[in-house]
Structure 1
């Protein structure tokens, strides 16, 4: 999840549910259980499909639910993870979260960015699901459809920073 490994999404889905499609069925069942009426998943990766859709409001519902799971929350808020050494990689492999690669600092006005997951497709633009703490309050923010791509300014992140910093001014 940290460096956006679509192959890992599929592998985990196969491990948990026997196939990606079986896992997608579970995702859709969970979305329905959460009252997400404008969401339908077709894959685990988030890659474009006409029948794969959601809203920013419903993605925030999904993220809020996921953050209740301690393992997910730990991964979602992890900056960097290093694997143990192996014969192929005697120093291990260090994985860095895509949001933290793009941030100069996790600090925002009166708080900090706790975690996030970036996303991009040509159709959806630059997207971000993020969590921050401002004062004593945690906030989830979903940004979507930002202009640019992997090689431009990351407007999904700059938009989130602007929103979170404005909360710190209140």
Structure 2
């Protein structure tokens, strides 16, 4: 949850940051309802876009990523989606943001600040020959700790999608340490 409250008046930009940085399910559902009137209708658009992008092993059932037996994807398909999404400059700005503050709203007179969950668990995004630029974490009991990340290594951009890391949101974030390990191997030329 991002922390939005019922009947809160927000901008679409607030909802986008609330969905991406703290993984706010209520923000994702709110965006879907604003765009199409319901989460179910928005999921139809998601599945259509997945097919257009060639994500042949993906089927969405919700906007939140929460477990459902008919909601599935692969690391390859998520990498395709991320590669496509990063061509949109607004998405890229949100995806690589470490933090975002919303102004006061009718339900939060002091405003709110979100921090990207990935960056919260890192002391630095720096690598010996690059930097982790952005990422989206995820977790369900069934999928484990997951991460879709973007980094520059030796002047090249790389997308890395990892799933099934041990732990949970209260333990060490092995999804992030796994990404650092792979990116370090890339920078040393071991991959």
Supply the distance in 1 between the matched residues of 2:125 and 2:109 (Cα, whole angstroms): 30
Determine if contact 1:2/1:95 at 8 Å carries over to the other structure: yes
Tell me which residue corresponds to 2:187. Answer: 168
| Consecutive unaligned residues in structure 1, runs of 5 or more | none
Q: Measure, in 2, the Cα distance between the counterparts of 1:40 and 1:61.
A: 14
Q: Tell me the number of residue pairs that the alignment of Structure 1 and Structure 2 aligns.
A: 170
Gaps of 5+ in 2: 1-19
C-alpha displacement of 1:109: 2.0
Which residue matches 1:135? 154
**Could you tell me which residue of structure 2 aligns to residue 111 of structure 1?**
130
Match of 1:18 among 25, 28, 37: 37
TM-score (structure 2 length as normaliser): 0.85
Contact 1:85 1:91 in 2 (8 A): yes
Q: Deviations over 1:112-165 (max 9, x none)?
A: 111001000000000001000112110000000011001111110000000011
Residue 38 of structure 1 corresponds to which residue in structure 2?
Answer: 57
The separation in 2 between residues aligned to 1:47 and 1:17, in whole angstroms, is 20
TM-aligned CA distance change 1:41 to 1:86, over 3 Å: closer
CA contact under 8 A between 1:130 and 1:141: conserved in structure 2?
yes
- Deviations along 1:91-122, one digit per CA (max 9) or x if unpaired, are 53211000000011010121111100100000
Distance 1:90 1:32 in 2: 42
Q: Secondary structure at the match of 1:115?
A: strand
Counterpart Cα distance in 2 of 1:54 and 1:86: 36
Match of 2:95 among 54, 76, 98: 76
Q: 1:97 maps to which residue? A: 116
Cα pair distance change 1:13/1:86, threshold 3 Å: closer
CA distance in 2, matches of 1:16, 1:88: 22
**RMSD of aligned residue pairs (Cα, Å):** 1.3
Cα-to-partner distance string for 1:72-105 (whole Å, 9 max, x where unaligned):
1110000011222457656532110000000110
CA distance in 2, matches of 1:142, 1:115: 12
Taking the aligned partners of 1:62 and 1:140, their CA distance within structure 2 comes to 11
CA distance in 2, matches of 1:19, 1:164: 39
Question: SS in structure 2 opposite 1:132?
Answer: strand
